[in-house]
């Protein structure tokens, strides 16, 4: 059986020291978590990937690691970009086409498709994000995260019934995908979503920054 993914998207938060402090807190608070059916994926910014990965490995923490973005280009003369091949040994997953990337950095369905293909070519599992049922989902992406922009960081999640209808509509256009919901998910509302059909996980921003809160979110169901 596939595990439910809990993707902790730290966005542009945490220094290296703060990232380590989170992992220390997780070690204390997360020791009793039942992760038989769940997989927690920590997604720090690029600067902390190696340190976080090393810490997880050295301390045998039950955590996977993901990036928040990759370049659409191969390794080369692209100042400021990070190619998939440069981080393929550091991460298991990569978030692609998050709403913030689409809105602030003008990523399109075409960019998302190029990045998904880069991830797949480098053995990284892409989490392809869509803002609504009209976005395209690249063929190779298995995981699709529905992230309605108005629910992100607003404290007002999309309703479970609307999330379900978006999953269904995406499923009819792009069969055999696994669906993830993201947008103001907290320990207090996650139970409203866990029984949606074809739900494969959650993408969590604000509530993933604090280890105690993340552990609570994982343990309420
Ligand atoms: P949020 O972020 O949980 O802070 O709303 C969600 C996201 O960016 O996916």
Helices (H), the chain: 16-29, 49-58, 84-87, 99-104, 109-121, 160-173, 211-219
Which pair of tokens denotes residue 115? 């990045």
Q: Give 76 Cα–ligand 1 centroid separation in angstroms.
A: 32
Q: Give 77 Cα–ligand 1 centroid separation in angstroms.
A: 32
- Among 68, 128, 203, which is best to mutate for testing ligand 1, by the most ligand atoms less than 8 A from CB? 203
Q: Give 160 Cα–ligand 1 centroid separation in angstroms.
A: 16
Nearest to 57 by CA among 38, 42, 36: 42
Cα(42)–Cα(60) distance, integer angstroms: 14
The pLDDT of residue 52: 98
49-58 helix and 16-29 helix, angle to the nearest 10 degrees: 30
Tell me if residue 60 is catalytic.
no
For residue 1, pLDDT over 80 is answered with no
Mean pLDDT of 187-200: 96
> Whose CA is closest to atom 1 on ligand 1?
205
Cα(64)–Cα(47) distance, integer angstroms: 17
> Whose CA is closest to atom 3 on ligand 1?
205
Q: pLDDT of 115-174, one tens digit each?
A: 999 999 999 999 999 999 999 999 999 999 999 999 999 999 999 999 999 999 999 999
**Mean pLDDT estimate for the chain:** 97
């Amino acid at each position: 059986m596939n595990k439910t993914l809990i993707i902790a998207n730290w966005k542009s938060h945490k220094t290296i020291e703060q990232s380590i402090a989170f992992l220390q807190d997780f070690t204390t608070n997360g020791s009793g978590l039942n992760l038989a059916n769940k997989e927690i994926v920590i997604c720090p910014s690029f600067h902390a990937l190696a340190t976080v990965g090393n810490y997880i490995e050295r301390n045998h923490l039950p955590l996977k690691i993901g990036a928040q973005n990759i370049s659409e280009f191969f390794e080369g003369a692209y100042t400021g970009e990070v190619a998939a091949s440069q981080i393929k040994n550091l991460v298991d997953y990569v978030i692609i086409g998050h709403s913030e990337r689409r809105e602030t950095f003008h990523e399109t369905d075409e960019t998302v498709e190029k990045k998904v293909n880069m991830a797949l070519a480098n053995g990284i599992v892409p989490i392809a994000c869509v803002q609504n049922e009209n976005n395209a989902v690249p063929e190779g992406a298995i995981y699709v995260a529905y992230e309605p922009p108005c629910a992100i960081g607003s404290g007002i999640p999309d309703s479970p019934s609307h999330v379900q209808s978006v999953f269904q509509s995406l499923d009819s256009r792009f069969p055999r995908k696994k669906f993830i919901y993201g947008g103001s998910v907290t320990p207090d509302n996650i139970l409203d979503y866990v029984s949606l059909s074809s739900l494969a996980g959650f993408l969590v921003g604000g509530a993933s920054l604090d280890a105690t809160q993340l552990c609570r979110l994982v343990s309420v169901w």
